[in-house]
Structure 1
Amino acid sequence: MAILAAQRLNKRYGDNLVLDNVAFEVEEGEFVTLVGPSGCGKSTFLKLLLGIESISGGTLKLDGRSIPNEPGPDRGIVFQKYSVFSHLTVLGNVMFHGDLAASKLLGKAFGKRRRALREAATAALEEVGLGAALNKYPHELSGGMQQRLAIAQALIAKPRILLLDEPFGALDPGIRKDMHALITRLWQEAGVTIFMVTHDLQEAFDLGTRLWVFDKKRHDPQAPDAYGATITYDIALDKTGDGEHLRRTREALNSSMSGGRFA
């Protein structure tokens, strides 16, 4: 059974149809990259998976059941804007959700539970290369280090599904390359299922095992909100062959992007 599946999924805000007739099945452990025009609903789609937005029609199922209408530890997310708490240390940031889960009233774990939480948070930070920065504050970290911190925050709960919303868009090319290597290694080691939104087509091809293009099949200048986006291309990124087919596919999509349909 697929870990995630949708049929005739749509999302509407008032008269604005954002997503329309989206259908897919995704197996556990896939790495799906999402590209498409700005405003076509890619980030909205991630919010549906996370559970902070509800679907307007159709079905969206996790393990064969309707996806919960609230976030859960089985789904983690990393945004482009670093979602870290400036008043907490690096270690405190990663321990935060565990502390909150231990006591919503006091916001802190105690005793054996706190020691276990601290050990888990330290291990997560060492995994992303921040073992030497436990007592620093976010403002003392570079952009790449802050994004590593955000990834550690998402991974400490050991989610089955990791959602990445343009996580490397604000980083310079050298740091992005390092982050690509990090997320690939973590994905391979953890076996987590990843959905990543990106505006960088090369990044989408390099990282993913499957690429989705979100776009509208119909466009009406007189009624721009009448039609929603769907998955117009679903491309398996098999990197074991000679790569010629993928090269031609990438060139064709890149031509569409440079032609103004994507941004």
Structure 2
Amino acid sequence: MPKNKDDMYGDHISHQFNDDLASLKNEFLKMGGLVEQQTIDAVNALIDGDGYAADEIRARDKLVDTMEKELDEEATRLIARRQPAARDLRLVIAVIKMVSDLERVGDEAKKIAKFALTLAEEGHAPRGYVEVRHISNHVTTMLHESLDAFSRLDSTQALKIMREDKRVDEEYQAATRTLLTFMMEDSRNISRCMAVMWVLRALERVGDHACNIAENVIYMVEGEDVRHTPLEEAARVVGP
């Protein structure tokens, strides 16, 4: 049965402390929802050849940066005011780390939008869009589920996301090989195919950041840092 420890937080004598922690979690999830949608919209702009939408996505990146600063400030104030310990301190520290990952997801979405704008002006690349759509669906699902695991403090689901990261790496490598082969056979479209390759790279990085968030969820729930550890060891931390 998945470990859902939502009642680990929010049981303090101080109702204001409960409210502060709830606000931090809610604002983090709001930022997560924004960067998830940014990524989806950027891929849609690429595939649809919609330069206007791509430009709008790049402009919205400023909101992501603002939310990152506000969340960092809120977390810092909470530490200074409440001096949290044990599980509460893990929550605040994890949020600070995960906010950085979300901001970087926003940066990757901005990069995709940049290439979407380029290809909208130059014309579609002849290959790569099927692979972009496939990997995009995979990594945005990972991101969504990592945010859900955070919301429900579900370390079992977080472990599943960590396992998915290897599959994304394999899909990225296969897609890259396909595009390289195509460019070797027909050099006329190298520039546009390279733009698609950079988009694939950006999506692979989104998957990495989703995995980082999942690792921090395990840290919050289990109290163990599973970064840079084999999956087998992370599985032992989470348990059955």
TM over 0.5: no
Q: TM-score, normalised by structure 2?
A: 0.31
Q: TM-score, normalised by structure 1?
A: 0.29
Select the structure that is richer in helix: 2
Select the structure that is richer in strand: 1
